[in-house]
Amino acid sequence: MPSLHIILTTSFIITLVILISPVFTSILYKSLNRNWHTHHIKTAVKMAFFTSLLPLFLHHHTGTELTITNLHWMNIMTFDINTSFKLDHLSITFVPIALYVTWAILEFASWYMKSDPNINQFFKFLLIFLIAMVTLVTANNMFQLFIGWEGVGIMSFLLIGWWWARADANTAALQAVLYKGVGDVGLIFTLGWMATNLNSWEMQQMYITAKSLDMNAPLIGLILAATGKSAQFGLHPWLPSAMEGPTPVSALLHSSTMVVAGIFLLVRLSPLMQDNPFALTTCLILGALTTLFTTICALTQNDIKKIIAFSTSSQSGLMMVTIGLNQPYLAFLHICTHAFFKAMLFLCSGVIIHALNNEQDIRKMGGLLYLIPTTTSCLTIGSLALMGTPFLAGFFSKDAIIEALNNSYLNAWALALTLLATSLTAAYSLRMIFFVNMNFPRFPALSPINENIKSITNPLKRLAWGTILAGDLMTCAVLPPKPPMLSMPPYIKLTALVITILGLTIALELALFTNKQRPYMPKQYFYFSTMLGYYPTIMHRFFPYTFLKLSQTIGTMTIDQTWLEKTGPKTITSLNLSLATTTSNIQKGMMKTFLSLFFTTLMIIILLNYY
Amino acid sequence: MLPEQPVNMAGVVFRRWARALSNGNRSGISAFLLGNRAASGMTKDSLPGSYPKTPEERAAAAKKYNIRVEDYEPYPDRGEGFGDYPKLPERSQSERDPWYQWDHPDLRRNWGEPMHWDFDAYIRNRVDTSPSPVSWSSMSKQLFGFIGFMLLMFYLGEKFPSYQPVAPKQYPYNDLYLERGGDPDKQPEEVKHYEI
């Protein structure tokens, strides 16, 4: 059906126009009324979601994919840069999910940020972020992808530092920019390599021309970019620090969409990686290390948002492991299912924080199951999905990943770490539920606890439906491109379930100890976990201090000292002094000196004559 | 009578202006241009001076920098250009009391307080020198020990990978003897298959 392409193109363009229009209309108005954000931006995102469903259904029904090239932007000799959109399975599936999650978050934010005088600007920032994310996801060339990449990075900076008068928020925003900037170096290197060696930034051309080349260097650049953006080990501290931003920002950017942009990049460029064992092994090792390390850090955190942030980092490590297994489809499936339950967890934490008058410490929560039942139920559903409870969204992706792990030829230690991290995921999830929902309240009874507001319950319910149904719908609707292993021994099939239950049981046992034993002095490994492996402490103190001190010393002292003293007057003085001293010492009338000089000169003359 | 020659008034004005400037009369436009200075900023006597050698110089320097004489300690005179600038404790702004009513609460600094030579390294967005619960050597050993252990284990994991057991495909009927054109009158070679 030729008209399918027209329908697909039109609905995609309509989606884009609906998203972009509030940004421009806001410029036309002199001042925006108080409810502008709700009437315009939230409504725009909602409508865009519904219009984006049409390409999704068309794609699932007929398998239609499309590449739209509509503008020859820059053409230099044989190198073309066009604006082109790739509407394939990845973008057609991700865009509605991102819009659905954003719709829920915007509705929630209209309540959460109600008291903020700049709420319209806040919503505009979120919308610009969403547009940049859609640009990244639908890009058919690396330049457009880079525009989206940097766009989401900048908006992340602006939104983390939303409360800019707070020094910690400023520091966190700077951290995010610097760490992601290190990753951007990798991406720019890859862009340069591709421009010089593949002579194109278009995806299709890159996939074909890269087949015969050694791709180690650009793939390492891509992996570095993903490490920065998706908070893998080494460039991960920005993600827990980013919790300084408002909760809607954490829910949208730092859990569902931006943080997975690095993984999405690797999924999009997986045809380049699939035949490169070095890159795949690097992804596997990096992902396994990240998932375990961040899970260990999450175990002892007391800030509810930090627990969920480390959980995000851990799941992004799991996605990296999946890419290392050469299963990009499974990684993408996990991106999609993860978006639902992680956003829901953040929204629940936002409700709890507001309900307890900005209390974020889980040691000062408790018994909320009876006070805010919808929120705590959604928190529980989200945690169960995160653990991979059968038939929730997380199960379909996580279980498939663990099965693929067990059936693959891979590094044994990576397998062990990933299984351990899966088990510990259950542990910290239970710890969070135990402290927040169960037992008795540990907060003053003065907090105005109320969740009887549509702006809270409607988004949570929508995301809960997504958490329950999304995994099933996605796996039923789409056949995986690589056939999964269908027959395996029972112990392999049940591994994920067994280790999750094991982690849960151990965590429950330990939780019961908290009511009975006296507190003890923390051990060294407790400090290792609480202080995030000492990584931020060491990296944020040693290197900045060393480089700042070195640059200051070189700039203000060493250069001047070198050029004005050492290369001129003082060196000449010391040289002259040493020469004069040596010469006058020689001529002090000592016989030994005269005889040694005589014989040395004699030897030199003889040798010169001889040669 | 000769017609009056035209006079270049701009040139006349410029000459008068240049004369006024060079005479240093400091009146009119030249006073405006050269006499106006901001009330803020460093004056000559508040800039760093040479290294203080006598007790009187030390006292004067301490007064200049708004420090007590007992607390004043200059940098060693090693030709690095510090002059009489005080050597303040190497502690960042993060270590200062967050609840005290500072004149500049975001900088945690009072008006007139001497600034550290490396103050830009010690702002709240940068280096934090506050004490950690664990000593620096212990932290370094644990972090790098952890990373080293992980790298070693990954290396061993590559040497001894994990995989499901695989075997060559096994066919029935003595490896399909008849289907492959074997002689039906002859007894085929017995093929033993193993269960995996």
The sign of the torsion formed by the CA atoms of B81, A570, A549, B141 equals negative
- Closest CB to A541 among B81, B120, B127: B127
**What value, to the nearest 5°, has the Cα angle with vertex B152 and ends B151 and B158?**
90
Cβ atoms of A141 and A81 closer than 8 Å? yes
pLDDT in tens, A485-522: 888 899 999 999 999 999 999 999 988 887 777 677 77
Is residue B142 pLDDT above 50, yes or no? yes
Burial-class residue A238 by CB neighbours within 10 Å (0-12, 13-18, 19+): buried
Residues of chain A contacting residue B166, judged by C-beta atoms under 8 Å apart: none
Residue B65's SS3 state is coil
Considering only CA atoms, which of A552, A572, A575 is closest in space to residue B81? A552
Is residue B158 pLDDT above 90, yes or no? yes
Residues of chain B contacting residue A408, judged by C-beta atoms under 8 Å apart: 163
Taking the Cβ of residue B120 and every Cβ of chain A, the question of whether any pair is shorter than 8 Å is answered with yes
Burial-class residue A544 by CB neighbours within 10 Å (0-12, 13-18, 19+): middle
Task: Report which of residues B52 and B17 the model is more confident about.
Answer: B52
Which pLDDT belongs to residue B1? 47
The residues near A476 (Cβ < 8 Å, ≥ 6 apart) are: none
- Give B33 to chain A, closest Cα distance, Å: 32
Longest alpha-carbon distance in chain B: 150
- Closest CB to A411 among B79, B80, B158: B158
* Other beta carbons less than 10 A from residue A106's beta carbon: 26
Task: Report which of residues A213 and B32 the model is more confident about.
Answer: A213
pLDDT in tens, A20-77: 999 988 887 766 677 777 778 999 999 999 999 999 999 998 888 888 888 888 888 8
The sign of the torsion formed by the CA atoms of A283, A284, A290, A295 equals positive
| pLDDT > 70: percent of chain B | 83
Which pLDDT belongs to residue A503? 95
**What value, to the nearest 5°, has the Cα angle with vertex A397 and ends A218 and A502?**
115
End-to-end CA distance of chain A: 95
Taking the Cβ of residue A171 and every Cβ of chain B, the question of whether any pair is shorter than 8 Å is answered with yes
Nearest chain A residue to B93, by CA: A167
- Give A220 to chain B, closest Cα distance, Å: 18
Q: CB distance A538–B140 less than 8 Å?
A: yes
Q: CB distance A557–B157 less than 8 Å?
A: no
Write out the two tokens for A588.
Answer: 């002090």
Q: CB distance B125–A538 less than 8 Å?
A: no
The residues near B65 (Cβ < 8 Å, ≥ 6 apart) are: B72, B85, B86, B114
Query: Which amino acid makes up residue A298?
Result: A
The predicted model scores a pTM of 0.87
Residue given tokens 């066009």 in the structure block? A82
What was the ipTM of the complex prediction? 0.88
Neighbouring C-alpha atoms within 13 Å toward the C-beta of B62: 14
Which pLDDT belongs to residue A523? 78
- Distance set, CA A99 to CA A126, A162, A265, A272, A336 (Å): 12, 22, 19, 29, 12
Helices (H), A200-303: 203-209, 216-229, 238-241, 247-251, 261-268, 270-273, 277-299
Using CB atoms and an 8 Å cut-off, which of residues 203-232 of chain A contact chain B? none
Q: Rg for chain B (alpha carbons), in Å?
A: 43
| Type and span of the H or E element at A72 | strand A66-76
Residues of chain A contacting residue B106, judged by C-beta atoms under 8 Å apart: 165, 167
| pLDDT > 90: percent of chain B | 53
Considering only CA atoms, which of B83, B86, B50 is closest in space to residue B66? B86
Q: CB distance A410–B163 less than 8 Å?
A: yes
Count helices and strands in chain B by DSSP H and E runs: 5, 0
From CA A587, how far away is CA A599, in angstroms rounded? 16
Taking the Cβ of residue B25 and every Cβ of chain A, the question of whether any pair is shorter than 8 Å is answered with no
| Burial state string for B102-130 with b = 16 or more CB within 10 A and e = fewer than 16 | beeeebbbeeebbebbbeebbbbbbbbbe
Task: Report which of residues B196 and A88 the model is more confident about.
Answer: A88
Residues of chain B contacting residue A545, judged by C-beta atoms under 8 Å apart: 121, 127
- Closest CB to A527 among B129, B134, B157: B134
Please report the number of interchain residue pairs, chain A to chain B, with beta-carbon separation below 8 angstroms: 98
Interface test with A, best of B109, B158, B166 (most A CBs within 10 A): B158
Residue A303's SS3 state is strand
Domain extents for chain A?
1-518, 524-579
Using CB atoms and an 8 Å cut-off, which of residues 277-296 of chain A contact chain B? 281, 285, 288-289
Identify the band that residue B20 occupies on the pLDDT scale cut at 50, 70 and 90. low
The sign of the torsion formed by the CA atoms of B124, B129, B132, B137 equals positive
Residues (pLDDT < 50) of chain A are none
Taking the Cβ of residue A544 and every Cβ of chain B, the question of whether any pair is shorter than 8 Å is answered with yes
Burial-class residue B190 by CB neighbours within 10 Å (0-12, 13-18, 19+): exposed
Q: CB distance A174–B121 less than 8 Å?
A: no
Identify the band that residue B27 occupies on the pLDDT scale cut at 50, 70 and 90. low
The residues near A343 (Cβ < 8 Å, ≥ 6 apart) are: A101, A104, A105, A251, A252, A255, A256, A463
Taking the Cβ of residue B157 and every Cβ of chain A, the question of whether any pair is shorter than 8 Å is answered with yes
Sort residue A122 into left (φ over 0), alpha (ψ -120 to 50) or beta.
alpha
